[in-house]
Chains A and B, each alone.
Chain A
Amino acid sequence: MAAEFLSQRVEALGRRTAAALAEFGYIAALLVEACYWLLLGHWRRQPVRLPAVFREAVGVGVAAIPVVGLAAFATGMMLAIQGVYTLRTFGAEEQVVIGVALSVAREFGPLITGIFVAGRSGSAIAARIGTMQISQEIDALRVIGINPVRYLVAPILAAMLLTLPALTVLADLLALLGAALYCAGDLNLPVGIFFERTFTILRVADVLDGLTKSQLFAVVVTLIGASNGFSVTAGAEGVGRATTRSVVLCCIAIILVDMVFTFFTSR
Protein backbone atom coordinates (compact mmCIF):
# COMPACT_ATOMS: atom_id res chain seq x y z
CA MET A 1 0.00 0.00 0.00
CA ALA A 2 2.70 2.45 1.06
CA ALA A 3 4.86 1.43 -1.86
CA GLU A 4 2.02 2.03 -4.27
CA PHE A 5 1.33 5.43 -2.74
CA LEU A 6 4.98 6.34 -3.06
CA SER A 7 5.21 5.15 -6.65
CA GLN A 8 2.14 7.21 -7.53
CA ARG A 9 3.74 10.30 -6.01
CA VAL A 10 6.98 9.72 -7.87
CA GLU A 11 5.04 9.18 -11.07
CA ALA A 12 3.08 12.41 -10.57
CA LEU A 13 6.30 14.29 -9.84
CA GLY A 14 7.86 12.89 -12.99
CA ARG A 15 4.88 13.91 -15.08
CA ARG A 16 4.91 17.43 -13.72
CA THR A 17 8.63 17.76 -14.30
CA ALA A 18 8.23 16.56 -17.86
CA ALA A 19 5.35 18.98 -18.43
CA ALA A 20 7.35 21.89 -16.99
CA LEU A 21 10.33 21.00 -19.20
CA ALA A 22 8.06 20.75 -22.23
CA GLU A 23 6.59 24.17 -21.48
CA PHE A 24 10.05 25.67 -21.05
CA GLY A 25 11.09 24.16 -24.37
CA TYR A 26 7.96 25.52 -26.02
CA ILE A 27 8.70 29.01 -24.70
CA ALA A 28 12.28 28.80 -25.94
CA ALA A 29 11.07 27.71 -29.38
CA LEU A 30 8.58 30.58 -29.37
CA LEU A 31 11.39 33.03 -28.63
CA VAL A 32 13.55 31.67 -31.43
CA GLU A 33 10.65 31.78 -33.86
CA ALA A 34 9.57 35.30 -32.91
CA CYS A 35 13.16 36.57 -33.31
CA TYR A 36 13.46 34.69 -36.59
CA TRP A 37 10.40 36.45 -38.05
CA LEU A 38 11.52 39.81 -36.67
CA LEU A 39 14.93 39.50 -38.31
CA LEU A 40 14.31 37.43 -41.43
CA GLY A 41 10.57 37.67 -42.04
CA HIS A 42 11.14 40.24 -44.73
CA TRP A 43 13.07 37.76 -46.86
CA ARG A 44 10.64 34.94 -46.20
CA ARG A 45 7.76 37.00 -47.62
CA GLN A 46 6.27 37.29 -44.13
CA PRO A 47 7.45 40.67 -42.83
CA VAL A 48 6.58 41.88 -39.35
CA ARG A 49 4.77 45.08 -40.21
CA LEU A 50 5.72 48.35 -38.56
CA PRO A 51 2.14 49.62 -38.13
CA ALA A 52 1.38 46.46 -36.15
CA VAL A 53 4.44 47.06 -33.94
CA PHE A 54 3.41 50.66 -33.29
CA ARG A 55 -0.16 49.65 -32.53
CA GLU A 56 1.11 47.17 -29.94
CA ALA A 57 3.56 49.74 -28.59
CA VAL A 58 0.69 52.09 -27.84
CA GLY A 59 -1.22 49.26 -26.18
CA VAL A 60 1.54 47.84 -23.99
CA GLY A 61 3.64 50.97 -23.51
CA VAL A 62 1.92 54.31 -23.89
CA ALA A 63 -1.30 53.16 -22.24
CA ALA A 64 0.71 51.91 -19.25
CA ILE A 65 2.25 55.32 -18.53
CA PRO A 66 -0.31 56.56 -15.95
CA VAL A 67 -0.32 53.44 -13.80
CA VAL A 68 3.43 52.82 -14.01
CA GLY A 69 4.13 56.49 -13.36
CA LEU A 70 1.92 56.65 -10.29
CA ALA A 71 3.32 53.41 -8.88
CA ALA A 72 6.90 54.54 -9.47
CA PHE A 73 6.28 57.92 -7.86
CA ALA A 74 4.77 56.29 -4.78
CA THR A 75 7.56 53.72 -4.59
CA GLY A 76 10.22 56.42 -4.76
CA MET A 77 8.58 58.36 -1.98
CA MET A 78 8.18 55.21 0.08
CA LEU A 79 11.90 54.43 -0.35
CA ALA A 80 12.78 57.92 0.84
CA ILE A 81 10.52 57.63 3.89
CA GLN A 82 11.98 54.27 4.86
CA GLY A 83 15.50 55.45 4.07
CA VAL A 84 15.26 58.53 6.23
CA TYR A 85 13.63 56.55 9.04
CA THR A 86 16.42 53.94 9.00
CA LEU A 87 19.32 56.36 8.57
CA ARG A 88 18.08 58.61 11.39
CA THR A 89 19.37 55.92 13.78
CA PHE A 90 22.85 56.80 12.61
CA GLY A 91 22.13 60.50 12.19
CA ALA A 92 22.94 60.13 8.52
CA GLU A 93 19.66 61.17 6.91
CA GLU A 94 21.47 63.09 4.19
CA GLN A 95 22.86 59.81 2.86
CA VAL A 96 19.37 58.74 1.82
CA VAL A 97 20.08 60.12 -1.65
CA ILE A 98 22.66 57.39 -2.37
CA GLY A 99 20.33 54.61 -1.30
CA VAL A 100 17.35 55.89 -3.21
CA ALA A 101 19.29 56.73 -6.38
CA LEU A 102 20.98 53.33 -6.62
CA SER A 103 18.00 51.20 -5.66
CA VAL A 104 15.64 53.06 -7.98
CA ALA A 105 17.88 52.94 -11.04
CA ARG A 106 19.16 49.41 -10.49
CA GLU A 107 16.08 47.78 -9.00
CA PHE A 108 12.80 49.51 -8.44
CA GLY A 109 12.41 51.36 -11.72
CA PRO A 110 12.64 48.24 -13.88
CA LEU A 111 10.88 46.00 -11.34
CA ILE A 112 7.83 48.23 -10.87
CA THR A 113 7.58 48.68 -14.64
CA GLY A 114 7.95 44.96 -15.23
CA ILE A 115 5.36 43.94 -12.66
CA PHE A 116 2.78 46.41 -13.91
CA VAL A 117 3.33 45.55 -17.55
CA ALA A 118 3.05 41.88 -16.58
CA GLY A 119 -0.28 42.59 -14.90
CA ARG A 120 -1.63 44.60 -17.81
CA SER A 121 -0.15 42.91 -20.85
CA GLY A 122 0.74 39.42 -19.64
CA SER A 123 -2.97 38.84 -19.10
CA ALA A 124 -4.07 40.70 -22.22
CA ILE A 125 -1.74 38.72 -24.50
CA ALA A 126 -2.87 35.40 -23.06
CA ALA A 127 -6.55 36.36 -23.25
CA ARG A 128 -6.33 37.63 -26.79
CA ILE A 129 -4.42 34.67 -28.21
CA GLY A 130 -6.49 32.23 -26.13
CA THR A 131 -9.76 33.64 -27.45
CA MET A 132 -8.44 33.49 -30.99
CA GLN A 133 -7.42 29.90 -30.38
CA ILE A 134 -10.88 28.74 -29.31
CA SER A 135 -12.71 30.66 -32.04
CA GLN A 136 -10.44 29.01 -34.65
CA GLU A 137 -8.96 32.36 -35.63
CA ILE A 138 -5.45 30.92 -35.20
CA ASP A 139 -6.38 28.11 -37.61
CA ALA A 140 -7.81 30.70 -39.97
CA LEU A 141 -4.49 32.57 -39.90
CA ARG A 142 -2.60 29.39 -40.66
CA VAL A 143 -4.79 28.37 -43.60
CA ILE A 144 -4.53 31.87 -45.05
CA GLY A 145 -0.77 31.29 -44.91
CA ILE A 146 -0.02 33.68 -42.08
CA ASN A 147 2.30 32.35 -39.43
CA PRO A 148 0.56 33.08 -36.09
CA VAL A 149 3.85 33.71 -34.27
CA ARG A 150 4.91 36.19 -36.92
CA TYR A 151 1.54 37.90 -36.98
CA LEU A 152 0.65 37.90 -33.27
CA VAL A 153 3.76 37.40 -31.16
CA ALA A 154 6.59 39.12 -33.05
CA PRO A 155 4.94 42.59 -33.12
CA ILE A 156 4.26 42.43 -29.38
CA LEU A 157 7.81 41.31 -28.66
CA ALA A 158 9.22 44.18 -30.69
CA ALA A 159 6.83 46.65 -29.06
CA MET A 160 7.76 45.42 -25.58
CA LEU A 161 11.49 45.60 -26.30
CA LEU A 162 11.04 49.18 -27.49
CA THR A 163 8.67 50.52 -24.85
CA LEU A 164 9.76 48.80 -21.63
CA PRO A 165 13.16 50.57 -21.45
CA ALA A 166 11.40 53.87 -22.16
CA LEU A 167 8.83 53.18 -19.47
CA THR A 168 11.66 52.26 -17.12
CA VAL A 169 13.43 55.59 -17.67
CA LEU A 170 10.15 57.34 -16.96
CA ALA A 171 9.62 55.23 -13.84
CA ASP A 172 13.20 56.00 -12.68
CA LEU A 173 12.65 59.73 -13.04
CA LEU A 174 9.24 59.75 -11.35
CA ALA A 175 10.49 57.60 -8.47
CA LEU A 176 13.39 59.98 -7.95
CA LEU A 177 10.95 62.90 -8.07
CA GLY A 178 8.83 61.24 -5.40
CA ALA A 179 11.88 60.76 -3.21
CA ALA A 180 13.10 64.30 -3.89
CA LEU A 181 9.76 65.82 -2.88
CA TYR A 182 9.75 63.91 0.39
CA CYS A 183 13.32 64.91 1.16
CA ALA A 184 12.47 68.52 0.34
CA GLY A 185 9.72 68.41 2.94
CA ASP A 186 11.37 66.31 5.63
CA LEU A 187 15.06 67.24 5.32
CA ASN A 188 14.74 70.68 3.71
CA LEU A 189 16.84 69.36 0.86
CA PRO A 190 16.06 71.35 -2.30
CA VAL A 191 14.81 69.25 -5.20
CA GLY A 192 17.54 70.64 -7.46
CA ILE A 193 20.27 69.57 -5.06
CA PHE A 194 18.70 66.11 -4.69
CA PHE A 195 18.85 65.54 -8.45
CA GLU A 196 22.33 67.03 -8.72
CA ARG A 197 23.64 64.59 -6.11
CA THR A 198 21.72 61.75 -7.68
CA PHE A 199 23.35 62.33 -11.04
CA THR A 200 26.85 62.48 -9.55
CA ILE A 201 26.26 59.20 -7.72
CA LEU A 202 24.71 57.25 -10.58
CA ARG A 203 27.02 55.73 -13.14
CA VAL A 204 25.84 55.01 -16.67
CA ALA A 205 26.29 51.32 -15.90
CA ASP A 206 23.72 51.48 -13.09
CA VAL A 207 21.05 52.81 -15.41
CA LEU A 208 22.03 50.44 -18.20
CA ASP A 209 21.75 47.46 -15.86
CA GLY A 210 18.22 48.55 -15.10
CA LEU A 211 17.39 48.93 -18.78
CA THR A 212 18.84 45.52 -19.61
CA LYS A 213 16.63 44.06 -16.93
CA SER A 214 13.59 45.71 -18.44
CA GLN A 215 14.41 44.08 -21.78
CA LEU A 216 14.60 40.70 -20.12
CA PHE A 217 11.21 41.38 -18.52
CA ALA A 218 9.83 42.33 -21.94
CA VAL A 219 10.84 38.93 -23.31
CA VAL A 220 9.51 37.09 -20.25
CA VAL A 221 6.08 38.77 -20.28
CA THR A 222 5.55 38.38 -24.03
CA LEU A 223 6.55 34.74 -24.16
CA ILE A 224 4.71 33.58 -21.05
CA GLY A 225 1.58 35.43 -22.16
CA ALA A 226 1.73 34.03 -25.68
CA SER A 227 2.55 30.46 -24.69
CA ASN A 228 -0.35 30.36 -22.24
CA GLY A 229 -2.63 31.80 -24.89
CA PHE A 230 -1.63 29.25 -27.51
CA SER A 231 -2.12 26.36 -25.10
CA VAL A 232 -5.79 27.17 -24.42
CA THR A 233 -8.05 24.29 -25.34
CA ALA A 234 -11.09 24.22 -23.08
CA GLY A 235 -13.35 27.08 -24.07
CA ALA A 236 -14.02 30.24 -22.14
CA GLU A 237 -12.97 28.67 -18.85
CA GLY A 238 -9.66 27.75 -20.44
CA VAL A 239 -9.10 31.36 -21.46
CA GLY A 240 -9.75 32.49 -17.89
CA ARG A 241 -7.36 29.94 -16.48
CA ALA A 242 -4.65 30.78 -19.02
CA THR A 243 -4.99 34.48 -18.21
CA THR A 244 -4.62 33.96 -14.48
CA ARG A 245 -1.77 31.53 -14.94
CA SER A 246 -0.04 33.93 -17.30
CA VAL A 247 -0.10 36.84 -14.85
CA VAL A 248 1.09 34.72 -11.94
CA LEU A 249 3.89 33.12 -13.95
CA CYS A 250 4.93 36.48 -15.42
CA CYS A 251 5.28 38.06 -11.98
CA ILE A 252 7.15 35.12 -10.51
CA ALA A 253 9.43 34.86 -13.53
CA ILE A 254 10.18 38.58 -13.42
CA ILE A 255 11.21 38.41 -9.77
CA LEU A 256 13.35 35.32 -10.32
CA VAL A 257 15.03 36.76 -13.41
CA ASP A 258 15.59 39.97 -11.49
CA MET A 259 17.21 38.13 -8.59
CA VAL A 260 19.55 36.12 -10.81
CA PHE A 261 20.47 39.15 -12.91
CA THR A 262 21.10 41.32 -9.84
CA PHE A 263 23.23 38.58 -8.32
CA PHE A 264 25.52 38.54 -11.34
CA THR A 265 25.71 42.28 -11.92
CA SER A 266 26.22 43.38 -8.31
CA ARG A 267 29.40 41.47 -7.60
Chain B
Amino acid sequence: MAATESAFEYAIEVEHLVTHYGARKILDDINFSVRQGEIMVIMGGSGSGKSTLLRHLLGLHRPTSGSIRLLGHDITQLSADQMYDLRKNMGVAFQGGALFNSMTVGENVELPLREHTRLDDNTIRIMSRMKLEVVNLAGFEDLMPAELSGGMIKRAALARAIVMDPRLLFFDEPSAGLDPVVSAELDELILTLRDAMNMTIVVVTHELESAFKIADRITVLDQGRILMSDTAAAVRASDHPRIRALLDRTPRSDAVDADAYLERLTREIFRA
Protein backbone atom coordinates (compact mmCIF):
# COMPACT_ATOMS: atom_id res chain seq x y z
CA MET B 1 0.00 0.00 0.00
CA ALA B 2 2.80 2.41 0.88
CA ALA B 3 4.24 2.33 -2.61
CA THR B 4 1.04 3.49 -4.26
CA GLU B 5 0.16 6.19 -1.80
CA SER B 6 2.32 8.98 -3.16
CA ALA B 7 1.62 7.99 -6.73
CA PHE B 8 -1.83 9.49 -7.06
CA GLU B 9 -3.00 13.05 -7.13
CA TYR B 10 -6.65 12.30 -6.54
CA ALA B 11 -8.02 10.98 -3.27
CA ILE B 12 -11.27 10.03 -4.98
CA GLU B 13 -11.88 9.21 -8.62
CA VAL B 14 -15.30 8.10 -9.79
CA GLU B 15 -15.65 6.92 -13.37
CA HIS B 16 -18.82 6.06 -15.27
CA LEU B 17 -20.69 5.12 -12.12
CA VAL B 18 -24.17 3.75 -12.82
CA THR B 19 -26.42 2.47 -10.06
CA HIS B 20 -29.92 1.08 -9.83
CA TYR B 21 -32.42 0.69 -7.05
CA GLY B 22 -34.48 -2.27 -8.19
CA ALA B 23 -35.26 -1.46 -11.81
CA ARG B 24 -34.99 2.29 -11.30
CA LYS B 25 -31.79 4.00 -12.36
CA ILE B 26 -30.59 6.30 -9.58
CA LEU B 27 -27.18 7.46 -10.75
CA ASP B 28 -26.33 7.78 -14.40
CA ASP B 29 -22.74 7.94 -15.65
CA ILE B 30 -21.21 9.83 -12.72
CA ASN B 31 -17.66 11.08 -13.27
CA PHE B 32 -15.83 13.28 -10.80
CA SER B 33 -12.66 13.42 -8.80
CA VAL B 34 -11.45 14.96 -5.56
CA ARG B 35 -7.85 16.07 -5.09
CA GLN B 36 -5.93 15.27 -1.95
CA GLY B 37 -6.47 17.83 0.78
CA GLU B 38 -9.47 19.31 -0.98
CA ILE B 39 -12.94 19.98 0.40
CA MET B 40 -15.48 18.79 -2.14
CA VAL B 41 -19.13 19.60 -1.57
CA ILE B 42 -21.71 17.41 -3.25
CA MET B 43 -24.79 19.51 -3.68
CA GLY B 44 -28.24 18.81 -5.02
CA GLY B 45 -31.90 18.92 -4.16
CA SER B 46 -33.66 16.06 -2.44
CA GLY B 47 -33.98 13.06 -4.72
CA SER B 48 -30.98 14.16 -6.77
CA GLY B 49 -29.10 11.01 -5.80
CA LYS B 50 -26.53 12.66 -3.55
CA SER B 51 -27.19 10.34 -0.61
CA THR B 52 -26.98 7.35 -2.94
CA LEU B 53 -23.69 8.63 -4.31
CA LEU B 54 -22.34 8.97 -0.77
CA ARG B 55 -23.41 5.43 0.14
CA HIS B 56 -21.55 4.15 -2.91
CA LEU B 57 -18.46 6.16 -2.04
CA LEU B 58 -18.59 4.49 1.39
CA GLY B 59 -18.72 1.05 -0.19
CA LEU B 60 -22.11 0.26 1.34
CA HIS B 61 -23.63 -0.78 -1.99
CA ARG B 62 -22.40 -2.44 -5.14
CA PRO B 63 -22.78 -0.27 -8.23
CA THR B 64 -24.22 -1.63 -11.49
CA SER B 65 -21.12 -0.53 -13.36
CA GLY B 66 -18.27 1.92 -13.21
CA SER B 67 -15.39 2.32 -10.82
CA ILE B 68 -14.78 4.20 -7.57
CA ARG B 69 -11.14 4.72 -6.61
CA LEU B 70 -10.48 5.82 -3.04
CA LEU B 71 -6.85 6.63 -2.20
CA GLY B 72 -5.83 4.75 -5.33
CA HIS B 73 -7.84 1.58 -4.66
CA ASP B 74 -10.86 0.63 -6.73
CA ILE B 75 -13.37 -0.28 -4.02
CA THR B 76 -15.58 -2.14 -6.47
CA GLN B 77 -12.74 -4.66 -6.91
CA LEU B 78 -11.32 -4.90 -3.39
CA SER B 79 -11.52 -8.04 -1.28
CA ALA B 80 -13.14 -7.80 2.15
CA ASP B 81 -9.71 -7.79 3.77
CA GLN B 82 -8.38 -4.96 1.63
CA MET B 83 -11.59 -2.99 2.21
CA TYR B 84 -11.10 -3.53 5.94
CA ASP B 85 -7.64 -1.95 5.71
CA LEU B 86 -8.91 0.92 3.58
CA ARG B 87 -11.67 1.69 6.09
CA LYS B 88 -9.05 2.59 8.69
CA ASN B 89 -8.25 5.57 6.46
CA MET B 90 -11.88 6.63 6.10
CA GLY B 91 -14.05 8.48 8.58
CA VAL B 92 -17.78 9.02 8.20
CA ALA B 93 -20.14 11.33 10.07
CA PHE B 94 -23.70 10.33 9.25
CA GLN B 95 -26.61 12.72 8.95
CA GLY B 96 -28.34 11.64 12.16
CA GLY B 97 -25.01 11.00 13.85
CA ALA B 98 -25.63 7.23 13.99
CA LEU B 99 -24.04 7.11 17.43
CA PHE B 100 -24.50 3.73 19.10
CA ASN B 101 -27.33 4.42 21.51
CA SER B 102 -26.34 1.71 23.95
CA MET B 103 -22.90 3.25 24.53
CA THR B 104 -21.73 6.49 26.10
CA VAL B 105 -20.30 9.23 23.92
CA GLY B 106 -16.81 8.28 25.04
CA GLU B 107 -17.30 4.60 24.20
CA ASN B 108 -18.64 5.60 20.80
CA VAL B 109 -15.52 7.60 20.01
CA GLU B 110 -13.25 4.88 21.40
CA LEU B 111 -14.84 2.06 19.39
CA PRO B 112 -12.78 2.41 16.17
CA LEU B 113 -9.56 2.47 18.22
CA ARG B 114 -10.61 -0.59 20.19
CA GLU B 115 -11.44 -2.49 17.00
CA HIS B 116 -8.46 -1.47 14.91
CA THR B 117 -5.59 -0.98 17.32
CA ARG B 118 -4.00 -2.83 20.21
CA LEU B 119 -3.37 0.29 22.26
CA ASP B 120 -3.88 0.01 25.98
CA ASP B 121 -6.99 1.32 27.66
CA ASN B 122 -5.58 4.59 28.95
CA THR B 123 -4.04 5.54 25.62
CA ILE B 124 -7.35 4.89 23.89
CA ARG B 125 -9.16 7.01 26.44
CA ILE B 126 -6.70 9.88 26.08
CA MET B 127 -6.84 9.76 22.27
CA SER B 128 -10.62 9.82 22.23
CA ARG B 129 -10.66 12.72 24.71
CA MET B 130 -8.29 14.60 22.40
CA LYS B 131 -10.78 14.27 19.58
CA LEU B 132 -13.64 15.32 21.82
CA GLU B 133 -11.57 18.41 22.65
CA VAL B 134 -11.20 19.11 18.94
CA VAL B 135 -15.00 19.16 18.50
CA ASN B 136 -15.54 21.09 21.77
CA LEU B 137 -17.19 18.23 23.61
CA ALA B 138 -14.61 17.79 26.34
CA GLY B 139 -16.17 16.45 29.52
CA PHE B 140 -19.19 14.94 27.79
CA GLU B 141 -17.74 11.45 27.36
CA ASP B 142 -19.89 9.86 30.08
CA LEU B 143 -23.20 11.04 28.65
CA MET B 144 -25.45 8.82 26.57
CA PRO B 145 -26.25 9.95 23.01
CA ALA B 146 -29.91 10.42 23.98
CA GLU B 147 -28.83 13.14 26.42
CA LEU B 148 -27.14 15.26 23.73
CA SER B 149 -28.59 18.04 21.59
CA GLY B 150 -28.65 17.80 17.80
CA GLY B 151 -25.50 19.86 17.34
CA MET B 152 -23.66 17.90 19.99
CA ILE B 153 -24.62 14.61 18.35
CA LYS B 154 -23.17 15.81 15.04
CA ARG B 155 -19.97 16.88 16.76
CA ALA B 156 -19.68 13.61 18.66
CA ALA B 157 -20.20 11.74 15.39
CA LEU B 158 -17.45 13.88 13.87
CA ALA B 159 -15.14 13.03 16.77
CA ARG B 160 -15.78 9.33 16.17
CA ALA B 161 -15.16 9.81 12.44
CA ILE B 162 -11.74 11.42 12.96
CA VAL B 163 -10.51 9.36 15.89
CA MET B 164 -8.36 7.17 13.62
CA ASP B 165 -6.91 10.29 11.90
CA PRO B 166 -8.36 9.24 8.56
CA ARG B 167 -7.10 10.67 5.30
CA LEU B 168 -10.62 10.75 3.89
CA LEU B 169 -13.55 12.24 5.76
CA PHE B 170 -17.16 12.05 4.63
CA PHE B 171 -19.77 14.27 6.19
CA ASP B 172 -23.45 13.84 5.40
CA GLU B 173 -25.59 16.97 5.80
CA PRO B 174 -23.58 18.66 8.58
CA SER B 175 -26.03 21.54 8.93
CA ALA B 176 -29.35 19.73 8.51
CA GLY B 177 -31.62 20.43 11.46
CA LEU B 178 -29.22 22.80 13.23
CA ASP B 179 -29.58 26.46 14.01
CA PRO B 180 -27.42 28.88 11.96
CA VAL B 181 -24.89 29.52 14.73
CA VAL B 182 -24.22 25.85 15.42
CA SER B 183 -24.04 25.03 11.73
CA ALA B 184 -21.56 27.91 11.19
CA GLU B 185 -19.44 26.46 13.99
CA LEU B 186 -19.47 23.09 12.28
CA ASP B 187 -18.33 24.71 9.03
CA GLU B 188 -15.41 26.29 10.87
CA LEU B 189 -14.61 22.93 12.38
CA ILE B 190 -14.51 21.29 8.95
CA LEU B 191 -12.12 23.97 7.66
CA THR B 192 -9.92 23.60 10.73
CA LEU B 193 -9.76 19.85 10.30
CA ARG B 194 -8.63 20.14 6.72
CA ASP B 195 -5.95 22.70 7.59
CA ALA B 196 -4.73 20.96 10.74
CA MET B 197 -4.83 17.34 9.61
CA ASN B 198 -4.68 17.75 5.85
CA MET B 199 -7.72 15.55 5.33
CA THR B 200 -9.56 15.20 2.10
CA ILE B 201 -13.15 16.01 2.97
CA VAL B 202 -16.35 15.24 1.11
CA VAL B 203 -19.43 17.03 2.38
CA VAL B 204 -22.92 16.24 1.15
CA THR B 205 -25.32 19.10 1.71
CA HIS B 206 -28.17 21.11 0.31
CA GLU B 207 -27.37 24.21 2.39
CA LEU B 208 -26.00 26.80 -0.04
CA GLU B 209 -24.43 29.12 2.46
CA SER B 210 -22.46 26.41 4.17
CA ALA B 211 -21.51 24.87 0.82
CA PHE B 212 -19.94 28.06 -0.53
CA LYS B 213 -18.22 28.77 2.74
CA ILE B 214 -16.30 25.53 2.98
CA ALA B 215 -16.02 24.22 -0.56
CA ASP B 216 -12.92 24.27 -2.71
CA ARG B 217 -14.93 22.65 -5.43
CA ILE B 218 -18.59 21.77 -5.79
CA THR B 219 -20.26 18.91 -7.61
CA VAL B 220 -23.88 19.61 -8.45
CA LEU B 221 -26.13 16.60 -8.85
CA ASP B 222 -29.56 16.66 -10.42
CA GLN B 223 -31.78 13.68 -11.12
CA GLY B 224 -28.91 11.25 -10.92
CA ARG B 225 -26.57 13.15 -13.22
CA ILE B 226 -23.74 15.55 -12.62
CA LEU B 227 -24.58 19.02 -13.87
CA MET B 228 -21.25 20.51 -12.97
CA SER B 229 -18.12 19.72 -11.00
CA ASP B 230 -15.99 22.80 -10.63
CA THR B 231 -14.64 25.44 -8.28
CA ALA B 232 -17.06 27.20 -5.97
CA ALA B 233 -16.63 30.44 -7.94
CA ALA B 234 -17.40 28.75 -11.24
CA VAL B 235 -20.53 27.15 -9.82
CA ARG B 236 -21.69 30.48 -8.45
CA ALA B 237 -21.18 32.07 -11.86
CA SER B 238 -22.87 29.24 -13.77
CA ASP B 239 -25.83 30.11 -15.95
CA HIS B 240 -27.12 26.55 -16.24
CA PRO B 241 -30.87 26.88 -15.56
CA ARG B 242 -31.07 24.02 -13.03
CA ILE B 243 -28.05 25.26 -11.11
CA ARG B 244 -29.49 28.76 -11.11
CA ALA B 245 -32.77 27.36 -9.84
CA LEU B 246 -30.89 25.66 -6.99
CA LEU B 247 -28.84 28.78 -6.18
CA ASP B 248 -31.67 31.27 -6.49
CA ARG B 249 -34.18 29.00 -4.75
CA THR B 250 -36.66 29.22 -7.61
CA PRO B 251 -39.17 26.42 -7.92
CA ARG B 252 -38.77 24.00 -10.77
CA SER B 253 -40.88 24.93 -13.75
CA ASP B 254 -40.25 22.31 -16.41
CA ALA B 255 -42.57 22.12 -19.37
CA VAL B 256 -44.84 19.12 -18.81
CA ASP B 257 -44.50 16.36 -21.38
CA ALA B 258 -48.12 15.35 -21.99
CA ASP B 259 -47.42 11.76 -23.04
CA ALA B 260 -45.05 11.05 -20.16
CA TYR B 261 -47.53 12.61 -17.76
CA LEU B 262 -50.37 10.41 -19.00
CA GLU B 263 -48.14 7.37 -18.91
CA ARG B 264 -47.22 8.03 -15.25
CA LEU B 265 -50.88 8.39 -14.29
CA THR B 266 -52.08 5.25 -16.00
CA ARG B 267 -49.04 3.05 -15.50
CA GLU B 268 -49.93 -0.48 -14.33
CA ILE B 269 -53.65 0.29 -14.49
CA PHE B 270 -54.21 -0.45 -18.15
CA ARG B 271 -52.18 -3.42 -19.19
CA ALA B 272 -51.05 -3.49 -22.76
A144 within 8 A of B: yes
In the complex, A132→B88 CA distance in Å?
22
Chain B residues with Cβ below 8 Å from A46 are: 84, 115
**Interface SS majority for chain B:** mixed
Decide yes or no: A144 and B84 within 8 Å by CB, A136-B94, A136-B95, A139-B94 being known contacts. no
CB < 8 Å: which of B59, B81, B100 contacts A140? B100
Decide yes or no: A144 and B94 within 8 Å by CB, A137-B100, A137-B101, A139-B60 being known contacts. no
In contact, B88 and A139 (Cβ under 8 angstroms): no
Q: Mark each residue of chain B from 21 to 64: 1 if its CB lies under 8 Å from any CB of chain A, else 0.
A: 00000000000000000000000000000000001001110000
In contact, B60 and A142 (Cβ under 8 angstroms): yes
In contact, B115 and A143 (Cβ under 8 angstroms): no
- Closest Cβ–Cβ distance, residue B56 to chain A (whole Å): 12
- Closest Cβ–Cβ distance, residue A144 to chain B (whole Å): 5
A146 within 8 A of B: yes
In contact, A136 and B87 (Cβ under 8 angstroms): no
In contact, A136 and B98 (Cβ under 8 angstroms): yes
- Closest Cβ–Cβ distance, residue A126 to chain B (whole Å): 16
Decide yes or no: A145 and B96 within 8 Å by CB, A135-B101, A137-B101, A139-B60 being known contacts. no
- Closest Cβ–Cβ distance, residue A52 to chain B (whole Å): 11
In contact, A140 and B94 (Cβ under 8 angstroms): yes
In the complex, A84→B59 CA distance in Å?
65
Which residues 51-104 of B sit at the A interface, judged by CB distance below 8 A?
55, 58-60, 81, 83-84, 87-88, 90, 92, 94-96, 98-101
- Closest Cβ–Cβ distance, residue A192 to chain B (whole Å): 47
Chain B residues with Cβ below 8 Å from A267 are: none
In contact, A45 and B100 (Cβ under 8 angstroms): no
In the complex, A140→B101 CA distance in Å?
12
In the complex, A136→B100 CA distance in Å?
9
In contact, B96 and A144 (Cβ under 8 angstroms): no
Interface size, chain A (Cβ < 8 Å): 15
In contact, A144 and B112 (Cβ under 8 angstroms): yes
Chain B residues with Cβ below 8 Å from A146 are: 111, 115
In contact, A145 and B95 (Cβ under 8 angstroms): no
B16 within 8 A of A: no
- Closest Cβ–Cβ distance, residue B151 to chain A (whole Å): 17
In contact, A137 and B98 (Cβ under 8 angstroms): yes
B116 within 8 A of A: yes
In contact, A143 and B90 (Cβ under 8 angstroms): yes
Chain A residues with Cβ below 8 Å from B95 are: 136
Q: Which B-chain residue is minimally distant from A128 (CB atoms)?
A: B102
Decide yes or no: A140 and B115 within 8 Å by CB, A45-B84, A145-B84, A145-B88 being known contacts. no
In contact, B87 and A145 (Cβ under 8 angstroms): yes
Q: Which B-chain residue is minimally distant from A145 (CB atoms)?
A: B87
Most buried by B among A131, A136, A143: A143
Q: Which B-chain residue is minimally distant from A151 (CB atoms)?
A: B115
Chain B residues with Cβ below 8 Å from A136 are: 94-96, 98
CB < 8 Å: which of A44, A45, A135, A145 contacts B98? A135
Chain B residues with Cβ below 8 Å from A140 are: 92, 94, 98-100
30 pairs of residues in contact across A and B, judged by CB atoms under 8 Å: A44-B81, A45-B84, A46-B84, A46-B115, A131-B101, A132-B100, A132-B101, A135-B98, A136-B94, A136-B96, A137-B99, A137-B100, A137-B101, A139-B55, A139-B58, A139-B98, A140-B92, A140-B94, A140-B98, A143-B59, A143-B87, A143-B90, A144-B87, A144-B111, A144-B112, A145-B83, A145-B84, A145-B87, A145-B115, A146-B115
The interface of chain B, by Cβ under 8 A from chain A, is: 55, 58-60, 81, 83-84, 87-88, 90, 92, 94-96, 98-101, 111-112, 115-116
Known: A135-B96, A135-B98, A137-B98. 8 other contacts (CB 8 A): A44-B81, A135-B101, A139-B98, A143-B60, A143-B92, A144-B112, A144-B115, A145-B87
